[in-house]
Amino acid sequence: MRGRQSMYQPGQRVALVNTTDSHTELRPGAAGTVRSFNHALQQLNVAWDSGSRLSLLLDDGDEVRRIA
């Protein structure tokens, strides 16, 4: 888990791979900018390009990949 903490820094660009949130309109491939990462909760806060502010719970099945 320590690797995840350094992996996500504010300003990094990410793309959604998977989310377990069935109510979001975000789909795999959606891009956004990392706002913050809470190591204790494994929660990644992303400002999605679509305007969504969905936070991801990495220990609960949500997944992103870094993009350039």
What total number of domains does the chain contain?
A: 1
Closest by CA position to 44, among listed 23, 22, 68, 66: 66
- Give the range of the structural domain holding residue 20, as residue numbers without chain letter: 2-67
Mean pLDDT value across residues 14-39:
96
Percent of the chain clearing pLDDT 70 (strictly above): 91
Hey, what's the torsion of the CAs at 51, 57, 62, 65, to 10 degrees?
A: 70
**How does the average pLDDT of the chain come out, rounded?**
92
State the burial class of residue 16 (Cβ atoms within 10 Å of its Cβ: 0-12, 13-18, 19+): buried
Residue 4, pLDDT score: 53
CA–CA distance, 28 with 6 (Å, rounded to integer): 23
Task: For 49-63, write each residue's pLDDT tens digit.
Answer: 999 999 999 999 999
Least confident segment among 4-8, 10-14, 15-19, 44-48: 4-8
Q: CATH number of the domain that 43 lies in? A: 2.30.30.40
pTM comes to 0.86
